[in-house]
């Protein structure tokens, strides 16, 4: 039978791997030897056991010379809550078990001031070895040598980066180098409140629904008396969710080389006018004035919004709120622009990076490769989307995210994900953009005025850039 | 006006009392009553305004996690979740953080009180060349924002080997205690009449004995303020401990509370508020006790204090 | 009139032995501070001055560029905006907070029932960590659901201001919030008030002084050292206002709350321009020093010390 044969083959393979491993150790080069194996694993796919081939990074076992001193690497991250911290510790323990000469000590730090402290430590030479990283830190740091390029390691060890469905190059690449591996993947998702939809007599939207359909849904779901909103999008400012409308209309925030602002072009203006109309003309989207300062998605959490844009990493909060307030919810596809037929969502994830002045590159790479590899991604996938395609398509993963259909945001991200315009000076031009962007939504400026002022400010910043800020 | 400033009414003949004593008193007691009728409502109204944000803090601390994000905002939590408080205690090593914070605060306050009282005395009561210029320099040290001296200071402490210890947070307090405290004490010392010093000198006291015997007892309210401000400053200090402490078992309360924020991935707001309330309580209790001891309101006996 | 002023001294005069001893005592008394400066402060301060002449991207070594940071600063419109915003804040909030704190302290100095309770309540805002209170105030200033606007609507105001998201009202909002911390200066005033000998009041009353005259001729002069302290500290502190802008507004909208130290912080830790930030810091230090020196100069005219000892005998 298929099953029996598979098991037998698996046993053979296991023995083969063991022999290979032992052989590698016996060869005993002083440098670390990577071990990447193509495994055949039995998986239950739709009820029948089938053999599925997966390329898996077998956790790196670093070869230890006789008399080599144990190495301690410091892994820093901001506090992530009890569950994620437990998972991180499991990963560290697993790695330490496989590499007895390596000790991984995790430093949980406060989130506020994390970046200030990391920069200070780097300047003084006392930085940790591995750190959590985020979109406004990675490229600026990479451009200045703060983070290690992982491409050499990836190529040397055959890390299966092409197995990823998530476009790592868009977000975390800089001048050909890659500067982090996923904590987990994520990005913009559209949450809908099924209970409210049913009350309004609506079905879940079709995958290819347009902006006009979207508007209709939003209007049906808005009820001023009940204090109910059709849609929420409190993170409009580029590079966040507002970009998806700009891209859908055919515009962009910056040109391809990321050195000129293109927000004054008609398509971009149209893309900003749409949410502006949602807010002021159709009144289905609350103004910032109407959104509490406490968090940014409360109306949805309170069951008072029919739809809302938020990151996939927000799913834990939504699950809690839906349980506590008693409503059902589901994901929906990003609507397409009626004329251009374009759909766009923003990508947004976190990565683990290695600090540029670490003394223990191999050991740090072992940790990062574990976390970004199959085993690590599998452990973290209850919190976010895993990077490897085999995992994101596996039943196991779909089960974790039940009863919602996580394939919806995943497919949107895969086909139509856009990066957040990473540049070496993100914080500066995002701030300049944000300053001019705000008055649009408080009614103090028109869309055209604000966007032209924003472009002027952004281009001024870009004009003063030193040459090494350029993307290529 | 200048004349009046320079020469307050010190010596006045007591013989000139007004004739109609009864009338004056009557008028005064009615004015007194009217004053009270205005005073109390104003004080109470002001107090309520000041307390409202804190009431919100308390209310948030008793809410469920999902409920804290509800709009319109609810004042009365429903259900009331007292469990938040023990949860905070469990979620972070609260007692350990309190102990660390107490240690740092205690030594800083000690160092500040000891050294500031001495240094301020030098600027207030002793004459030496360039004294006032040097005093301006003391103030000048407060004029450079800390952001630009952070990295050199951090490197300095690295060289001293004090990273991930309490020393950067406590030892500098023993060297003057900070310009703020020196300045405050100097001002208070300078309100103490010089005649007291002269009298003591005639009795044979040396300069530093005067400090110990005369000045410090007279400056008790100011020292009390320094103690209160010092306690609060170190109890709530976030940035100093953030930069210099790495090990979680050395963290202070301010750092510990910030562990409830999970970067972009969420915020345990109700636990954060509960933790902030618990953190504020010792400060409130201490302040309430201290202000009664150091600041007694209108005093009817003696020269001062 | 100015009888307390010393006569002009000859510039160089040999000190008598007792003067020498006193000078020695003086240096001894301030020695902890001097030592502290030498050990902990001199290095970083000189370093920051040096860094202001470099381009220092924090995670790369500094590169000497001469006066480029300073010339850039003069042409930087964000620098001038920061100066304007911060100066507005300083010249509004300092007088307001000083007088408000003084008024409150005078109120607190009466024999009132529950005095201790009142004093605690009025000081409570200072007991809340500044970050938590910034969050609380963001909520209070929320244009739709915030307490303040709900209250204003109750009073009949049709379109209450949008506070933190309005370019016009963001700064007033922050000033209002700063007044919430009135307990700090209030406490210092209280301590000063307590130190006024009551015989002065009695004597003034006997001389026929009404309460206003007593205030002018007893309270104010006796409190002038404390007033001076709060004024100088107010200036030094408010020029460096930071947390409110950092937490609540990010400097906006449209740079309406673009405080100087916020710009400095952004340059240092967000834009990788620590050298420029250092130049900003030194310019600010000079500005603050200028105003402080002004106040110091003026203090001989209006500050009365019962126990002052002028520089030389």
Q: Is the peptide bond before A420 cis (omega within 30 degrees of 0)?
A: no
Specify the higher pLDDT residue, A290 or A113: A113
pLDDT given for residue B299 in this prediction? 40
Rounded distance, CA C180 to CA C69, Å? 37
SS3 A43: strand
C41, C85: one domain: no
Domain B92-259 has CATH 1.10.3720.10: yes
Average pLDDT of the residues in A8-33: 39
CB A304 within 8 A of CB A227: yes
Q: Across chain C, which distance is largest between two alpha carbons, in Å?
A: 76
Comparing alpha-carbon positions, the chain B residue that sits nearest to A294 is: B69
Rounded distance, CA C91 to CA C93, Å? 6
Query: Does residue C233 fall inside a structural domain?
Result: yes
Residue C208 maps to which CATH number? 1.10.3720.10
Find where tokens 């019962």 sit.
C306
SS3 string, A377-411, reads HHHHCCCCECCEHHHHCCHHHHHHCCCCCCHHHHH
Between positions 51 and 80 of C, the ones with CB within 8 A of B are 51-52, 58
Probe site for chain B from C33, C105, C289 (most B CB atoms < 10 A): C33
B256 shares contact with chain C (CB less than 8 Å): no
C257, C199: one domain: yes
Average pLDDT of the residues in A311-339: 89
C38, C122: one domain: no
B57 shares contact with chain A (CB less than 8 Å): no
pLDDT in tens, chain C (313 residues): 444 455 565 555 677 888 888 899 999 999 999 999 999 999 999 999 999 999 999 999 999 999 999 999 999 999 999 999 999 999 999 999 999 999 888 887 777 777 778 888 888 888 877 767 777 787 788 887 777 888 888 888 888 888 888 899 999 999 988 888 888 898 889 888 887 888 888 888 888 878 788 888 888 888 999 999 999 999 999 999 998 889 888 888 999 999 999 999 999 999 999 999 999 999 999 999 999 999 999 988 888 888 777 765 4
Nearest beta carbon to residue C206 from set B12, B56, B294 = B12
Q: Which phi and psi (to 5°) does residue A326 adopt?
A: 75, 45
Query: Among the listed ranges A122-131, A143-152, C6-15, which one has the minimum average pLDDT value?
Result: C6-15
Of C271, C263, C188, the C-alpha closest to C233 is C188
CATH 1.10.3720.10 spans which residues of chain B? 92-259
Query: Does residue C130 fall inside a structural domain?
Result: yes
**Degrees (nearest 5) of the Cα angle A82, A85, A90?**
125
Identify the domain containing residue C224 by its residue range.
Answer: 70-309
Rounded distance, CA A469 to CA A460, Å? 14
CA distance A148 to chain C (A): 13
Cβ-defined contact of A292 to C142 (cutoff 8 Å): yes
| Length of chain B measured in residues | 305
Query: Among the listed ranges A17-21, A253-257, B41-45, which one has the minimum average pLDDT value?
Result: A17-21
Tokens of A78: 């901001």
In this prediction, residue A152 has a pLDDT band, given cuts at 50, 70 and 90, of very high
Q: For residue B174, give Cα distances in angstroms to A97, B112, B114, C38, C182.
A: 47, 6, 7, 13, 29
pLDDT given for residue A52 in this prediction? 57
Q: Model pTM?
A: 0.87
Above 90 in pLDDT, residue B172? yes
C37, C82: one domain: no
Residues A24-57: pLDDT tens digits? 333 333 334 444 555 555 555 555 555 555 555 5
Q: Which phi and psi (to 5°) does residue A53 adopt?
A: -90, 130
C40, C188: one domain: no
Nearest beta carbon to residue C269 from set A115, A435, A439 = A115
C125, C196: one domain: yes
pLDDT given for residue B288 in this prediction? 81
Of B224, B223, B230, the C-alpha closest to B109 is B230
Rounded distance, CA C126 to CA B125, Å? 32
Tokens of B225: 């303020």
Rounded distance, CA B189 to CA B220, Å? 10
Q: What is the DSSP string of A357-368?
A: T-S-HHHHHHHH
* Contacts of residue C189, Cβ cutoff 8 Å, sequence gap at least 6: C101, C102, C105, C106, C223, C226, C230
Instruction: Give the other-Cβ count within 10 Å of A5's Cβ.
Output: 10
Tokens of C201: 């009041």
In this prediction, residue B300 has a pLDDT band, given cuts at 50, 70 and 90, of very low
DSSP A61: B
**ipTM of model:** 0.88
Element of type H or E holding A109: strand A102-109
Residues A49-100: pLDDT tens digits? 555 555 555 555 566 555 577 899 999 999 988 889 999 999 999 999 888 8
pLDDT given for residue B102 in this prediction? 94
CB C254 within 8 A of CB A435: yes
Average pLDDT of the residues in A96-120: 92
B237 shares contact with chain A (CB less than 8 Å): no
C187, C279: one domain: yes
Which residues in A28-41 are b (16+ Cβ under 10 Å) and which e? eeeebebbbbebee
Query: Does residue C196 fall inside a structural domain?
Result: yes
DSSP A290: G
C222, C185: one domain: yes
Query: Does residue C115 fall inside a structural domain?
Result: yes
Contacts of B71 in chain A (CB under 8 A): 292, 298-299, 302, 304
C129, C239: one domain: yes
Number of domains in chain C: 2
Above 60 in pLDDT, residue B304? no
Q: What is the DSSP string of A172-216?
A: HEETTEE--EEEEB-BEEEEEEHHHHHHTT-PPPPTT-BHHHHHH
Average pLDDT of the residues in B155-160: 96
C10, C147: one domain: no
Contacts of A140 in chain C (CB under 8 A): 272
Contacts of B150 in chain A (CB under 8 A): 116, 120
Q: How far apart, in Å, do the first and last CA atoms of chain B sit?
A: 28
| Length of chain A measured in residues | 472
Comparing alpha-carbon positions, the chain A residue that sits nearest to C135 is: A294
B268 shares contact with chain A (CB less than 8 Å): yes
Query: Does residue C59 fall inside a structural domain?
Result: no
Nearest beta carbon to residue C252 from set A122, A356, A435 = A435
Comparing alpha-carbon positions, the chain C residue that sits nearest to A439 is: C253
Nearest beta carbon to residue B47 from set C52, C118, C208 = C118
C33, C150: one domain: no
Q: For residue A463, give Cα distances in angstroms to A268, A425, A455.
A: 22, 12, 12
Query: Does residue C57 fall inside a structural domain?
Result: no
Q: Which phi and psi (to 5°) does residue B81 adopt?
A: -115, 85
Cβ-defined contact of B43 to C112 (cutoff 8 Å): yes
C25, C145: one domain: no
């Amino acid at each position: 039978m298929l099953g029996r044969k598979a098991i037998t083959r698996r046993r053979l393979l296991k023995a083969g791997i063991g022999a290979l491993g032992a052989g590698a150790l016996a060869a005993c080069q002083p440098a670390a030897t990577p071990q990447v194996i193509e495994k055949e694993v039995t998986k239950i796919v739709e009820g029948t056991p089938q053999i599925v081939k997966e390329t898996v990074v077998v956790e790196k076992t670093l070869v230890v010379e006789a008399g080599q001193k144990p190495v301690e690497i410091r892994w820093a991250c901001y506090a992530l809550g009890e569950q994620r911290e437990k998972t991180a510790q499991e990963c560290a323990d697993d790695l330490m078990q496989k590499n007895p000469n390596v000790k991984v000590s995790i430093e949980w730090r406060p989130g506020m001031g994390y970046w200030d402290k990391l920069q200070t430590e780097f300047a003084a030479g006392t930085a940790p070895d591995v750190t959590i990283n985020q979109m406004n830190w990675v490229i600026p740091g990479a451009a200045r040598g703060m983070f290690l390029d992982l491409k050499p390691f990836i190529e040397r060890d055959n890390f299966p980066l092409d197995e990823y469905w998530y476009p790592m190059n868009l977000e975390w690449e800089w001048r050909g180098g890659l500067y982090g591996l996923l904590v987990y993947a994520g990005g913009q998702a559209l949450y809908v409140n099924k209970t409210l939809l049913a009350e309004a007599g609506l079905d879940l939207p079709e995958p290819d629904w347009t902006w006009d359909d979207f508007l209709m849904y939003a209007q049906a779901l808005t009820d001023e008396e009940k204090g109910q909103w059709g849609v929420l999008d409190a993170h409009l400012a580029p590079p966040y969710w507002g970009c998806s409308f700009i891209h859908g209309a055919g515009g962009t925030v910056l040109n391809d080389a990321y050195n000129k602002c293109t927000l004054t072009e008609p398509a971009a203006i149209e893309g900003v006018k749409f949410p502006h109309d949602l807010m002021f003309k159709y009144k289905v989207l609350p103004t910032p004035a109407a959104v509490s300062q406490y968090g940014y998605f409360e109306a949805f959490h309170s069951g008072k919004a029919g739809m809302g844009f938020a990151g996939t990493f927000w799913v834990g909060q939504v699950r809690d709120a839906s349980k506590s307030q008693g409503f059902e919810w589901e994901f929906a596809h990003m609507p397409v622009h009626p004329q251009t037929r374009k759909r766009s969502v923003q990508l947004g994830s976190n990565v683990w990076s290695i600090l540029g002045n670490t003394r223990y590159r191999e050991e740090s790479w072992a940790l990062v490769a574990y976390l970004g590899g199959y085993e690590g991604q599998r452990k973290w996938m209850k919190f976010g989307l895993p990077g490897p395609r085999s995992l994101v398509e596996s039943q196991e993963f779909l089960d974790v995210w039940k009863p919602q259909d996580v394939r919806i945001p995943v497919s949107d991200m895969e086909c139509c994900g856009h990066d957040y315009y990473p540049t070496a000076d993100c914080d500066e031009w995002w701030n300049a953009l944000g300053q001019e962007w705000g008055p649009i939504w408080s009614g103090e400026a028109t869309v055209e005025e604000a966007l032209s002022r924003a472009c002027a400010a952004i281009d001024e910043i870009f004009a003063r850039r030193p040459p090494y800020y350029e993307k290529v | 006006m200048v004349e009046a400033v320079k020469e307050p009414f010190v010596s006045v003949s007591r013989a000139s009392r007004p004739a109609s004593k009864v009338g004056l008193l009557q008028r005064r007691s009615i004015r007194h009553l009217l004053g009270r009728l205005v005073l109390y409502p104003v004080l109470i109204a002001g107090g309520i305004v000041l307390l409202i944000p804190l009431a919100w803090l308390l209310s948030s601390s008793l809410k469920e996690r999902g409920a804290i994000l509800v709009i319109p905002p609810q004042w009365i939590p429903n259900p009331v979740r007292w469990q938040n408080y023990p949860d905070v205690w469990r979620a972070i090593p609260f007692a350990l953080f309190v102990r660390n914070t107490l240690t740092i605060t205690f030594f800083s306050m000690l160092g500040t009180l000891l050294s500031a009282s001495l240094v301020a005395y030098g600027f207030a009561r002793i004459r030496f060349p360039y004294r006032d210029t040097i005093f301006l320099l003391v103030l000048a040290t407060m004029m450079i924002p800390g952001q630009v001296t952070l990295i050199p200071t951090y490197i300095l402490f690295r060289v001293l080997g004090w990273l991930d210890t309490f020393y950067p947070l406590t030892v500098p307090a023993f060297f003057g205690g900070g310009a703020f405290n020196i300045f405050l004490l100097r001002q208070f010392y300078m309100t103490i009449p010089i005649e007291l010093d002269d009298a003591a000198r005639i009795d044979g006291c040396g300069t530093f004995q005067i400090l110990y015997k005369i000045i410090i007892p007279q400056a008790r309210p100011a020292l009390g303020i320094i103690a209160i401000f010092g306690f609060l400053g170190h109890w709530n200090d976030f940035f100093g401990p953030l930069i210099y402490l790495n090990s979680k078992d050395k963290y202070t309360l301010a750092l510990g509370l910030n562990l409830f924020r999970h970067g972009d991935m969420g915020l345990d707001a109700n636990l954060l508020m509960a933790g902030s309330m618990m953190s504020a309580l010792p400060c409130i209790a201490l302040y309430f006790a201290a202000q009664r001891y150091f600041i007694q309101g209108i005093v009817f006996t003696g020269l001062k204090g | 009139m100015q009888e307390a002023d010393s006569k002009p001294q000859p510039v160089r005069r040999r000190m008598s032995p007792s003067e020498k001893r006193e000078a020695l005592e003086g240096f001894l008394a301030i020695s902890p501070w001097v030592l502290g400066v030498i050990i902990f402060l001199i290095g970083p301060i000189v370093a920051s001055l040096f860094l202001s002449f470099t381009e220092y991207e924090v995670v790369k070594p500094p590169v000497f560029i001469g006066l480029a940071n300073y010339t850039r600063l003069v042409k930087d419109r964000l620098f001038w905006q920061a100066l304007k915003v911060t100066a507005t804040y300083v010249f509004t909030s300092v007088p307001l907070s000083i007088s408000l704190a003084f008024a409150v302290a005078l109120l607190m100095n009466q024999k009132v029932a529950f005095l201790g309770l009142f004093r605690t309540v009025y000081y409570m805002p200072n007991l809340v960590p500044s970050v938590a209170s910034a969050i609380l105030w963001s909520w209070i200033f929320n244009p739709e659901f915030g307490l303040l606007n709900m209250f204003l609507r109750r009073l009949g105001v049709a379109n209450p201001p949008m506070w933190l998201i309005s370019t016009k009202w963001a700064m007033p909002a922050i000033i209002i919030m700063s007044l919430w911390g009135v307990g700090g200066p209030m406490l210092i005033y209280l301590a000063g008030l307590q130190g006024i000998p009551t015989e002065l009041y009695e004597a003034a009353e006997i001389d026929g002084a009404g309460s206003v005259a007593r205030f002018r001729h007893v309270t104010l002069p006796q409190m002038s050292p404390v007033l001076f302290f709060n004024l100088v500290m107010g200036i030094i502190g408010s020029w460096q206002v930071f947390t409110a802008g950092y937490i609540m507004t990010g400097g906006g909208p449209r740079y309406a709350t673009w405080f100087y130290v916020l710009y400095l912080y952004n340059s240092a830790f967000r834009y990788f321009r620590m050298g420029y930030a250092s130049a900003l810091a030194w310019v600010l230090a000079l500005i603050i020093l200028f105003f402080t020196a002004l106040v110091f100069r003026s203090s001989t005219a209006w500050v009365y010390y019962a126990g002052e000892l002028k520089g030389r005998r």
